Structure 1
């Protein structure tokens, strides 16, 4: 009787172990299949990403060509150095040397024209016109009008709205300057403003400061004071 009970227990134990192993194999097979399915799906996504990258690269290899910027030149002044010029335009000295084929940095001469890579300097003259720059300044900008608040003159005054150079002040063209820094009649390109002409002076306009003429008093006041603005004095007159 005892042997019979032990035999039955042994049979039950064998069955439990067998069924457990089968269940474990089934579960293992299930998880393995799921992992394979996930791996296959990830590979498909990766292939799609590679395909998109290849298409993007193909588009990059044939870019749409932009019109080349018109050349900009700087006319060397007495006392100029390549280091000073490079700082004025914010470009490396090595770039100036390479673009202009200069082997000896100390060979600069007054009146010599250096080509400035306008894209690197962030400089583009209006209309893409070719320009020769003879002076670069860092200026403070303000604005003025023809009225009493700026000139002390009323509309009835015979010289109301008339500039120091004798022309009638015009918004979008006239600026007041210190003629010892920017000669009368000079054409200047003001960064963020555009082309202007030095036609006027003012008692408060000294050094590199520039006063922009405006028709409207409110607009002139709202313009306020703008500091550290790059100004390029161009060769010739407007």
Structure 2
């Protein structure tokens, strides 16, 4: 990962310089197949820039989402209108993020996720979120079946650390393949912890990221990995060629325990 990261550092310096020359902010409407990586390349900025401008805590985006490219991130916050006085729920609008919704209602993201049974930062326009007090059953964003799936999702970090319980596979996969999987950690001598797509793994140790061969799985692709869970193809590696992947695990011991194994991957 070291060689790739050195090259990426130089690229980041170039793109940041180009971004500073932008005269005004613009808005990008996410299309099907878009990733933060592809959007950053098209607009000559970095993935981290886009996340900062839009208060994104992960690299997950969805079609029709409005992303600010350039300018001040506070401008994006104006798209969120707090719930009316006395109201306990908020209806998600296009371009909203959990961070912005929580900030506009004077609560924390962890409270917002807890009240609504959310196991990730993914929300969609039209979702009803409880923004005050304990969420009622009828006000929950997810139906009972989805809630059961969310409970399984909360166990994924432990499973990725080497536990034997399998992680349930999603049904909406567009492609499936079998690969050889190894594991890596950002806490190694000389490692910056920044992936080829700009994800800072030291600052975001719970982020699920895999290193891939971009010719097999394009960077920015969302995938499901057997025994690891849902992740972003956000890194590369000199030895990662063909049907090989490297899964990121924050603990050095857990990464070592992963070893080398054959796993199934589903492209979502």
**TM-score, scaled relative to structure 1:** 0.39
**TM-score, scaled relative to structure 2:** 0.35
Q: Which has the larger radius of gyration?
A: 1
